Amino acid sequence: MAHDCIVTETDGPVGVIRLNRPDALNALNARLIAQLTGALEAFEADAAIGCIVLTGSRKAFAAGADIAEMKDRTWPQTWLEDFLSRWDAIARTRKPLIAAVSGYCLGGGCEVAMMCDFIIASESARFGQPEIRLGIIPGAGGTQRLTRAVGKARAMDLILTGRMMDAAEALASGLVARVVPDESLMDEAMSAARMIAGHGRAAVLAAREAVNRAFEVPLQEGLRFERRMFYALFATADQKEGMAAFVQKRKPRFTGG
């Protein structure tokens, strides 16, 4: 499928996907989601890529799922076709995924950003789950991931009122990892992505898997999982290289082995 809703590029070991439907504030229609999941799969399969940055425009990361596309759907259609099920593929990405968010990040857009490993926001970013104003509720993880990120009180406030929160509130509530000036957003995201891509690949995958476990299992099970992953990394060449480099006072040269 030709890419007319996204733009992809690579910069060394970093893959960049830019959502690109400027006339609709990057509203996420089926075509865009198909292109996005296809691009993620391609970067996953490319051994040269160690980290992926997902971004939008200065005005909008994405203003949500495409309302015009879904407004006339019926319940049997949504149920029988498992409407929007392709979205799950975004959350299944194994390589580290950073959301670089500027402008509107609403509804499904906020849910996609929350599927990423972390969010770097620009000062103009606005987050929200306004679905309630359309007579629906979040359907791609908003009630679950937002609640885990910001806690019940603020998640209820945002989801029940449908209001937006600015970047400062998103930072204070733990939804985003960093807030940077608008003009520095991509530099900051790319520099974080290059740093991650430069680390040992197995350690990076193990780290993100272990952190994600924290949301799914009881503490003792999570701690056991972390320890097993920690031990397993001693089987990698990158662990030998990382520790040898430290004692030899030089930079490590990780190979992914």
Active site residues: 65, 108, 111, 131
Cβ atoms 196, 141 nearer than 8 A: no
Binding site for ligand DAK (CB under 6 A): 24-25, 27, 63-68, 84, 87, 104, 106-108, 111, 130-131, 134, 139-140
Return the structure tokens found at 89.
Answer: 């593929």
Distance CA 106, CA 111 (A): 8
Within 13 Å and on the Cβ side, how many CA atoms surround 108?
A: 23
| CB closer to ligand DAK, 49 vs 125 | 125
Smallest distance from ligand DAK to CB 207, Å: 27
| CB closer to ligand DAK, 33 vs 203 | 33
| CB closer to ligand DAK, 137 vs 244 | 137
Distance CA 201, CA 247 (A): 21
DSSP assignment of 56-112:
--SSEEE-SB-HHHHTT--HHHHHHTTTTGGGHHHHT--S-EEEEE-SEEETHHHHH
Return the structure tokens found at 126.
Answer: 């606005």
Smallest distance from ligand DAK to CB 136, Å: 7
Smallest distance from ligand DAK to CB 11, Å: 29
Smallest distance from ligand DAK to CB 107, Å: 2
How far lies 100's CA from each of 17, 62, 95, 193, in Å?
Answer: 10, 11, 16, 11
* Length of the chain, in residues: 257
Smallest distance from ligand DAK to CB 190, Å: 26
| CB closer to ligand DAK, 61 vs 118 | 61
The residues near 129 (Cβ < 8 Å, ≥ 6 apart) are 106, 107, 110, 111, 138, 142, 143, 146, 158, 159, 162
| CB closer to ligand DAK, 15 vs 107 | 107
| CB closer to ligand DAK, 155 vs 202 | 155
Return the structure tokens found at 240.
Answer: 């030998």
Radius of gyration of the chain (CA): 19
Q: Which of 112, 100, 121 shows the shortest CA–CA distance to 189?
A: 100
Smallest distance from ligand DAK to CB 26, Å: 8
